Amino acid sequence: MSRRVHPLCSLGWGFLLALGVAEGTFPSGLSPPTAVTPADDAYHYSAWAGRRHDTWYTEWWYFNLFDAAAGVQAIFSYFVSNPADVRGLGQVQMVASMYTGDGVVSAIDLYPLDTFAASDGQADVSIGGNTAHIQGDGSYLVSGASRDQRLAWHLVYTPESDPWLAADRMVIGRLPWEQMSWLVQMPRARVTGDVSVDGRHYAVDAPGYHDHNWGEWIPTDGLWSWAQYSDDRLNLELGDFLGKPVGVVSLDFDGERTVFGPDQYRLAHIRWAWDPQNRLFYPSESRLIADNGKLRLDVRIRVLQNGPLRGDLPLPLRDLIIYEQTAGYQGRVWQRRSGPRGAEGGGWRLKASFGGPGFKEWTAKRY
């Protein structure tokens, strides 16, 4: 078998039936977990090593930012797959995409395995000269550059909302060993610092997001649709696995989180666009509706800029295309009114309207 690039994955794609959070509303049968600790955002391979499927172990730390004022958006993913280098197929990647008015510039840089290092106590990750490091005040210093020097970043991520563990060894594929964990470490962050695209520098002071995924699975067994939005009052995360009854919608409004299970939401892709490079259609507009009988959510998501990233898989697997996208959000949240003596069924009242920029992803197999 020839050695080919393992798919880069980020990119925020572990979106599974949530296990709950510190306080809020959860689907039937779920209960809040223990509080998130710094070790939850650390390197997790030691807890998985030595099993039969180490070849498929994958872990990444993902960050994004959307600075509408400066006119720049970006994603960064610090990625390792098969860190034991079983069959010589281990991969380390530094992935970055930046979006400006001039278009999208992306880099998928491969590094030797021995350039990767990470702590199992807290979020300290390095790939060559690219680093993500938790500081004493709980903020993260995230810095690096693409090998061709077209992209560079030096940023501080300061959390503005509480982390939550969305999945713990959730089965996501056809086989029972295909499991993924997902931590949303920063549903919303304040991002400050500097990025550069082709020599042009942007001073950043904007909202951002950070999550972390790890586990063992065959990438083409878990195609997904992901979306993320936040503002001063509301954080929204969506993860939906295509063709599978696995997914989650999470809404944190004024500090109270509501989690909708896969039987409580519907995601419809209502407009499509053509990718001539990969010869695939991808959704350019989607509608998300979630309802648990107490809270109702209705969101339209429209792609603003699209950056397809190709992950080459070993034959006979199909190649994986990840559509990394900036998006515009328009949504409403309704709450059920109380009826007589506090009983439900008193109709719905509009709780909030929201709108603005965020991120989304769509994945597909290239045939």
Rg (CA), the chain: 20
359: β partners? 228, 326
| Any domain includes 291 | yes
Q: Any idea what DSSP says for residue 45?
A: G
Q: How many separate domains does the chain show?
A: 1
Would the CA dihedral through 296, 165, 130, 56 be positive or negative? negative
| Any domain includes 256 | yes
Tens-digit pLDDT profile for the chain (367 aa)?
Answer: 232 333 333 333 333 333 333 345 555 434 454 589 999 999 999 999 988 899 999 999 999 999 999 999 999 999 999 999 998 888 999 999 999 999 999 999 999 999 999 999 999 999 999 999 999 999 999 999 999 999 999 999 999 999 988 888 888 888 999 888 989 999 999 999 999 999 999 999 999 999 999 999 888 887 888 999 999 999 999 988 887 778 889 999 999 999 999 899 999 999 999 999 889 999 999 999 999 999 999 999 999 999 888 765 554 456 788 899 999 999 999 999 876 655 556 799 999 999 999 999 998 877 6
| Any domain includes 6 | no
| Any domain includes 262 | yes
Q: What one-character-per-residue DSSP string does 261-323 give?
A: -TTSEEEEEEEEEEETTTTEEEEEEEEEEEE-SSEEEEEEEEEEEEEEEEE---TTSPEEEEE
Q: Which domain holds residue 200?
A: 24-366
H/E stretch holding 118 reads strand 116-118
| Any domain includes 7 | no
| Any domain includes 17 | no
Residue 341 belongs to domain with CATH number: 2.40.370.10
The pLDDT tens digits of the residues spanning 218-247 come to 888 878 889 999 999 999 999 888 877 788
What's the mean pLDDT when you consider all of the chain? 87
| Any domain includes 134 | yes
pTM, whole model, 2 decimals?
0.88
